[in-house]
Amino acid sequence: MLTALTRQVSPLIDNCLLENLPRQEIDAAKAARQHVEYEACLQDLGIQIVRVPDAPECPDGVFVEDPAVTLDEAAVILPMGTEVRRKEVPSVAETLARFKPLIHVRPPAMLEGGDVMRIGKTLFVGMSVRSNQEGVERFAAAVGPMGYTVKPVRVYGCMHLKSGCCYAGAGTVVANREWVDVSPFREFSIIDVPADEPWAADVLAIGETVLMPSCFPGTRRLLEQRGFQVTALDVSELMKAEAAVTCMSIIFESDHGAPPVGPNPASPGGMVT
């Protein structure tokens, strides 16, 4: 069954890190309500929710995607691109260890989950302000033995690859060409986001459904014209933190329901690269 790891919104989200957006006041209570609606939407799509322990002291803690990448065989624990966010990693790793063996990529390599987009056995990895060449190389070394190919992608206008480019399924990528080099996706059909919706490429494919923010009607129309079933959510308050719909969960197939909290079935240390 599909499982999604999520974490509650920190009351300090107004102090989140920003790269490309001007800082606006974030209503933490409203952001928390929108996050609950996001979790409810995932549950409506048949996904079980497993909560990572709260981290109220971490303004960016709700963005659980960044500390790890889950594959069929293992979970890869990543060296975050900003030192202040590395305190978020242990609780994510401990939760994932209930489901999968762990592989750790260590600093000084830098890589965040928002820069990793999977299409089959290919992992497209953004070269961004949060992920460096050493991070890509060590990640490739970690996943290569499991049969995955890593392809770097230049990112130059947004925080992460998936801020400007996401896989919608059915051989289709949604992209903002102003922010991401789309040449690595030449074998795919590309939906270009409208010029007045530059942040609209962050979409989340779940089965036959594409989840996206409700404030991008132009991109929604383009997706629906291509035959995609779209579910739109109001995540406007969370978007002030440069968020969208991919970064607030880690979604993976698990063989069973959430195991009870207790001794991890995998070594907390795991493999290291």
Structural domain for 226, as ranges:
2-255
What is the chain's length? 273
What pLDDT is stored for residue 158 in this prediction? 94
Residue 199, pLDDT > 60, answer yes
Residue 255, pLDDT > 90, answer no
The model's pTM is 0.92
Question: Tell me, what CATH number does 209's domain have?
Answer: 3.75.10.10
Annotated catalytic residue 247: yes
Annotated catalytic residue 256: no
Whether residue 272 is contained in a domain is answered as no
What pLDDT is stored for residue 267 in this prediction? 33
Which member of 104, 160, 165, 166 is catalytic? Answer: 160
Q: Are strands 209-213 and 229-233 parallel, antiparallel or unpaired?
A: parallel
Whether residue 269 is contained in a domain is answered as no
Give the neighbor-by-neighbor strand order of the sheet with 189-192.
165-169, 172-175, 189-192
Whether residue 271 is contained in a domain is answered as no
Strand partners, 154: 127
Which member of 41, 58, 166, 247 is catalytic? Answer: 247
Dump pLDDT digits (tens) for 3-37.
999 999 999 999 999 999 999 999 999 999 999 99
Whether residue 225 is contained in a domain is answered as yes
Whether residue 262 is contained in a domain is answered as no
Number of domains in the chain: 1
What pLDDT is stored for residue 256 in this prediction? 58
